[in-house]
Structure formats: structure tokens, C-alpha cells
Amino acid sequence: MPQIVKDFQGQTVITTFETTPATAFDLVEALETAYRDCIRNQPGFLSAGLHMNDARTRICNYSQWRSREDYQAMLRTPEMRERNRHIHELCRSFEPVMYEVTGVF
């Protein structure tokens, strides 16, 4: 489970997916399958969480990695390159952004 702490030394990645109510559940299923079958087995993966807004137009993915390099290596694997092509078909856009925790309340 993700643990949000100010002194976290790894890499936090928050990805926002813009989707439609018609494809939102298909997108969540594709993301869940990617985590279950591929991502969680990659070196440096620590945890992740998926969130969907009430309108089913946005999905947010919060993931934690041991390092930025581990996250980037996962994206370059042939399996994830293929999965990301399919994920892209299910949404209007998605943007992964790397963050540092600056405060926890």
C-alpha cells in the first residue's frame, strides 16, 4: 500500500488519464491487469493506487518506485510499451508526472 511520508526517498509518479464514461471501466480494467500481471513484478516497484472521479471522466494513478530509473525502465519494457498503446486507445490523453512529497497533514 502507498505510504505518503515527507521523507520518502523514492520516486512518486502521479498519472492522470482523461477518459469518457463509456470507456472508464475498460481503462481501469486495463490498468489493474497491467499492475497485476506486469508492473508489480518490475524491479523497484513499491506500491500504487487507482482513483476514478464520480463523473467517470478522469482516472488518477498514484505509484511509488524505488527510483526514477526503475520507473523509466518499466516503461521501456516491450510488454509495457504494448500495454500503453492499448491504454492510450481507451483514453483521450494521459500524463505521468514525477513528484516529491513536500508535506503530509
Reported as a single tens digit per residue, the pLDDT across 11-61 is 999 999 999 999 999 999 999 999 999 999 999 999 999 999 999 999 999
Looking at residue 2, its pLDDT comes to: 72
Q: What does the DSSP assignment read for 24-63? A: HHHHHHHHHHHHHHTGGGSTTEEEEEEEE-TTSSEEEEEE
Cα–Cα dist 13/97, whole Å? 6
Yes or no: say if 101 and 2 are a contact pair by the CB < 8 Å rule: no
What would the grid cell of residue 77 be? 519494457
- Which is nearest to 12 in space by CA: 3, 21, 23? 3
Percent of the chain with pLDDT over 70: 100
Percent of the chain with pLDDT over 90: 88
What the chain holds in terms of domains, given with CATH numbers, is 11-99 (3.30.70.100)
What would the grid cell of residue 97 be? 508526472
